[in-house]
Amino acid sequence: MTDLFTEKAQDWDTRTPVQLISSAVGATLLEQIALRPDMEVMDFGAGTGLISSHVASQVARIVAVDVSASMLEKLREKPELQGKVETVCQDIVDQPLQRSFDLIMSAMALHHVEDTARLFQRFAENLRPGGQVALADLDTEDGTFHAQGNEGVFHFGFDRAHLSELLTDNGFTDIQFQTPHVVRREAECREYPLFFVRATRT
């Protein structure tokens, strides 16, 4: 599988939009999810571990899943994540992860997965009863968010009602959405809202 983030990984954490998104999503996750020191967490599309860094000190273990080996390499270099985060370079849609978790979190990764319905099925399979998802990505946009091309992008954001249906179909309840951040590009007079959704597997 081609690693589309080989070059981007080198300066990913220094990019201002990335910093703003991860900060907003991380803060919202901490507000909305009751973390426990015994929790096992999957960070789906973990990248360089920006969201894991918000959570690691408050849970027992994080399994960082991504298809980009170069992004995961950057994650492993972070001192605050060593000994707490395990990395798995694997497409869990095609190769399911045979493990169970209390929480699956994800930020800005869903639009890189072609079969969202199958991904949500995997999430349900990998969650213990009563486990939660905490997912953030773009609301529906016109395809201009990725200014440098759309390779590896399968969705121009998501419709919240559709995502709610997918979650319901896979046994999730208590589905709640909010808007943690809006990406603003003033030079282009464009705004790209993000959603944050949490839901519980019954």
Domains in the chain, CATH or no CATH each: 8-201 (3.40.50.150)
Residue 9 has pLDDT above 90, yes or no: no
Q: For residues 195 and 177, is the Cβ–Cβ distance under 8 A?
A: yes
**What does the alpha-carbon distance between residue 123 and residue 99 come to, in Å, rounded to a whole number?**
11
Burial state string for 136-147 with b = 16 or more CB within 10 A and e = fewer than 16? bbbbebeeebee
Q: For residues 150 and 201, is the Cβ–Cβ distance under 8 A?
A: no
Residue 150 has pLDDT above 70, yes or no: no
Residue 147 has pLDDT above 80, yes or no: no
Please report the pLDDT score of residue 2 as a whole number: 64
51 — pLDDT class (breaks 50, 70, 90) = very high
Nearest to 108 by CA among 51, 35, 170, 184: 51
Residue 1 has pLDDT above 60, yes or no: no
CA-based end-to-end distance of the chain: 35
pLDDT tens digits for range 174-187: 999 999 999 999 88
Q: For residues 49 and 64, is the Cβ–Cβ distance under 8 A?
A: yes
State the alpha helices, DSSP H only, in 88-172.
Answer: 116-126, 160-169
Residue 148 has pLDDT above 70, yes or no: no
Q: What is the average pLDDT score of the chain?
A: 93
Q: For residues 131 and 200, is the Cβ–Cβ distance under 8 A?
A: yes
pLDDT tens digits for range 91-127: 999 999 999 999 999 999 999 999 999 999 999 999 9
Q: What is the side-by-side order of every strand in the sheet holding 172-185?
A: 85-89, 61-66, 40-44, 101-107, 127-138, 190-201, 172-185
Q: Return the number of other C-beta atoms located less than 10 Å from residue 54's C-beta.
A: 20
